[in-house]
Amino acid sequence: MPAVPTRLPAEEWTARAAAHEERIERWTAPHRERRRRGATHPVLDFLFTYYSETPSRLRRWHPGPGTALAPSSAGPAPHAGWRWYAADDDGGVRLDTAAYLAERREAVRFVRDLLTATASRAPFTGCFGLHEWAMVYRADERRHPLPLRLGQAGTDAVVEGHPIRCTHFDAFRFFTPAAVGLNRVQPTRETQPALEQPGCLHATMDLYKWAYKLSPAVPGELLADCFELAVDVRGLDMRASPYDLRAHGYEPVAIETPEGRADYVAAQREFAARGAALRSRLTDVCDRLLVG
Summarised one tens digit per residue, pLDDT across range 180-196 is 999 999 999 999 999 99
Position 176 scores a pLDDT of 97
Average predicted confidence (pLDDT) for the chain: 95
Closest CA to 240 of 128, 154, 140, 165: 128
d(CA 134, CA 130): 6
Position 3 scores a pLDDT of 61
Position 292 scores a pLDDT of 65
38 by Cβ neighbours in 10 Å (0-12 / 13-18 / 19+) ranks as exposed
User: Phi and psi (nearest 5°) for 87?
Assistant: -100, 135
Distances (CA, A) of 126 to 165, 241, 262, 266, 268: 8, 15, 10, 11, 10
Question: Mean pLDDT over residues 204-232, rounded?
Answer: 98
Neighbours of 57 (CB within 10 A): 12
Position 288 scores a pLDDT of 95
- pLDDT bin (cut points 50, 70, 90) of residue 229 is very high
Question: Mean pLDDT over residues 13-42, rounded?
Answer: 96
Question: Mean pLDDT over residues 153-158, rounded?
Answer: 97
Position 1 scores a pLDDT of 43
Sign of CA dihedral 212, 213, 215, 219: negative
Q: In what order do the strands lie in the sheet with 85-87?
A: 6-8, 67-69, 93-95, 85-87
Digit-coded pLDDT (tens) for 48-107? 999 999 999 999 999 999 999 999 988 999 999 999 999 998 899 999 999 999 999 999
- Is residue 162 over pLDDT 90? yes
Digit-coded pLDDT (tens) for 104-154? 999 999 999 999 999 999 999 999 999 999 999 999 877 788 999 999 999
- Is residue 224 over pLDDT 90? yes
14 by Cβ neighbours in 10 Å (0-12 / 13-18 / 19+) ranks as middle
